Every structure is written in structure tokens, then in C-alpha cells.
Amino acid sequence: MKKRVLAVLMAATMLLGLTACGGDGSTPAGGDVQGADGGSSSGTIKVGIINNDPNESGYRTANDKDLQAMFTAENGYDATFAYGKTNDEQINAAQQMIQDGVDYLLLSAADVSGWDTVLQDANNQGIKVILYDRTIDADPSLYVASIVSDMAKEGETAANWLKDQGLSEYNIIHIQGQMGSAAQVGRSGALLDMAAAEGWNVLVSQTADWNAEKAQQIVQSQIDAGKSFNVIYAENDDMAKGAVAALDANGITHGVNGDVIIMGFDTNKWALEELKAGNWNYDGQCNPLQASYLNDVIQKLEKGETITEKTIVMDEKGFDAKTITDDDVNTYGI
């Protein structure tokens, strides 16, 4: 009994671990794209949208809101939404949608594998599958397009920004996200590569599991150890906030004109406001707003055009405290 309970527990924990800014870095190379045959030309387009749990993170909430706002009756869509924390739940939902005869199936998969059969069913019925946010391990011919974030590029943008600051020396505290997640791998890789190339001194690379409190403890322990540093590279906004709390508690200045440069990711609205106030220096975007891209792809297919590029990487910006405007905060804050 105890063992079984433990097994259930472990499974639950692993599921909860799949949080944070999604999107698997590896995208399959583009293959042949299926010709579009118009689909239902009679007014509304029927779409089935499968997403992850909207409570998972602020990123996911923004992602869901964006989709809800785009796929409305006013925009000519008849949309069904389904949320699943696990592949099983999502596959059940997908099968239901296929039975209902949707025209398009939009999918952000909980898990990368196990989708072949259900997507084959969809294809057999002439339903077009579009992946968003996260890719899957399946034959590229099973889907029409895949709209993703490039986490490594986000990291590079940030590392390049840091290089452009031209500091006389770089002593960096590097706070990582949950180890192995696509966001962590991409953002860590870019910084560590740049640090190696430029001879920057990374005092510590430590994971805080996206948790502000852990980030605070990590920075506090570095301060207590008497280390001096001038850059904090946190792989999401929450952890940057935790790091800043530790600096504040020790009376260390940060942000524009401060002693320590603060870098965060995910462009939460409150984070951009910190940036605007000059408390932080940089925030990198991880774009959750995929609805317009999805809309473009669907409209093109409806017009009978073909999609030439199977993997669509979204534009993602990096914001500097010195140049950010109120417009940016309102437009890009999630």
C-alpha cells in the first residue's frame, strides 16, 4: 500500500515538475507540407485547442488568455478548449475533438512522445494539426506547422546585451531554472558559452527551481561568504525578484546606476515595471502570444496557400531599463 502511495506521489511530483515556460528546444526539420484543400469554406472555422493547465505559470495564463481572445465567434472561429496536465487527458480530449469533426487541431503537448496514433487519426480525417509552444517527437508529416520559442536565442540576446554593457570585469551570480527544462538549458547554455569566450567570472551557477525564495537564499549565501559580484543573471523574473530581495536586505544597490546589474526573463508585467523604475537592468521575452501566428497559418491554409516553413520561431525581444517605454510595459507585459 505504502509503495503504491509513494508511486502515485512520485508521478504527481513529476507532473508538477513540468511547469514553466514551455517549448522544447529541439524542433524536427521541416518536411513536406500537406497541400491545403480549403476545408470548410462555409463561414466559421471549427478549431479544437488543447493546452496545458492554465494555472501552471503566469506564462501559461497569458498564453491561454491570448488564445481565448483570438479564437472567438467574432473572428470567425468556433473553438473548443481543453486543458490537460497529462498526455492521457490531452489525448482523450484530442480524440473527442476528432470525433466532433474539427477543421484544425491546435496542440501544446504535455509530453513530447505518444502522439503518433492520435495525430494519424486526425490526418486520416483531413484535420490539420498545428503545434504551438511545445514540439513533439513525431513524424513532421503529421502536422502542418509548429510555432515555438527559441530559448537558446533568448539566452544569446541576453548574453549579447550583457557584453555590450562593457563592464571592466564581470563577476556573475547565475541562478538557474529547473534543471533540464528547455528554458533552463537554452538560457544557461548561452550565458556559459559567452562567459567562457569572454573570460567572465561566473561565481556560482545554482538552480533555484524558478523559486524566488531559493534564489534569495543563494544570493544571501554568496553575500555572507564575502563574495563580490556585479551581475545577477536569473533565468526567470521570480528568481530575479528573490535575488533583489537579498540585495535589499543587505543594503546593496542594484539596477540603473546601482552596483549590481539585474537580469531576468519572461517579461511579467510587474518585472517590466521594475525595469521602468530602474531597479532592474534587463528582461528577456519568452513570447506566450502565439495566437496571431496560429491565426496567420490558419488563414493562409484557408486561402489555399501552402506553409513553406514548418517551424516558425517567434520574435522575442530583450528590454533594457534605459530604453523601455510605458508602451512596452503595456504591450509586452504578461
Partner 1 sequence: MQKIEKKKASPMEVMKKILGRQIFIPIAALLLLVLFNLIVDPSFFAVVMKTNSAGNPVLTGNLITILDNGSELAILAIGMTLVTAAAGGQDISVGAGIAISGSVMLRVLCGTNPKPEAIQAPIIVAFLVGCLAAMLCGAFNGALVAYFKIQPMVATLILYTAGRSIAAWVNHNQLPIVPPGSFSYFGGVIPGIPIPTPFFIAIGCMILIALVLKFTTLGLYTQSVGINESSSRLNGLNPILIKFLAFVILGICVAVAGLIKVSRFSTINYSVIAKDIEMDAILAVALGGNALSGGKFNIAASILGAYVIQFLTTTLYKFNVRSDALPAYKAVVVIVLVVASAPRVREYLNGLKKKMIQNPSRKEVG
| Beta carbon nearer to partner 1, 34 or 217 | 217
| Beta carbon nearer to partner 1, 12 or 197 | 12
CB of 120 to partner 1, least distance (A): 32
Determine the distance from the C-alpha atom of residue 238 to the mean position of all C-alpha atoms in its chain, rounded to a whole number.
14
CB of 144 to partner 1, least distance (A): 30
| Beta carbon nearer to partner 1, 106 or 243 | 243
Chain residues that interact with partner 1, rule: CB under 8 A: 1-2, 5, 8-9, 12-13, 16, 19, 53-58, 61, 179, 204, 206-214, 216-218, 220-221, 223-226, 238, 241-242, 245, 247-253, 268, 270
| Beta carbon nearer to partner 1, 56 or 235 | 56
Q: Give residues with Cβ within 8 angstroms of 82, minimum separation 6.
A: 48, 49, 50, 51, 90, 93, 94, 96, 97
CB of 299 to partner 1, least distance (A): 29
CB of 297 to partner 1, least distance (A): 27
| Cα separations in angstroms, 99 against 16, 40, 93, 106 | 30, 16, 10, 15
CB of 40 within 8 A of CB of 103? Answer: yes
Listing DSSP states for 170-225 in one string gives -EEEEEE-STTSHHHHHHHHHHHHHHHHHT-EEEEEEE-TT-HHHHHHHHHHHHHT
171-176, strands of its sheet edge to edge: 201-207, 171-176, 231-234, 261-265, 282-284, 318-320
| Beta carbon nearer to partner 1, 255 or 284 | 255
CB of 11 to partner 1, least distance (A): 10
| Beta carbon nearer to partner 1, 100 or 213 | 213
Determine the distance from the C-alpha atom of residue 244 to the mean position of all C-alpha atoms in its chain, rounded to a whole number.
23
Which residues lie across from 47 on neighbouring strands?
79, 104
CB of 228 to partner 1, least distance (A): 15
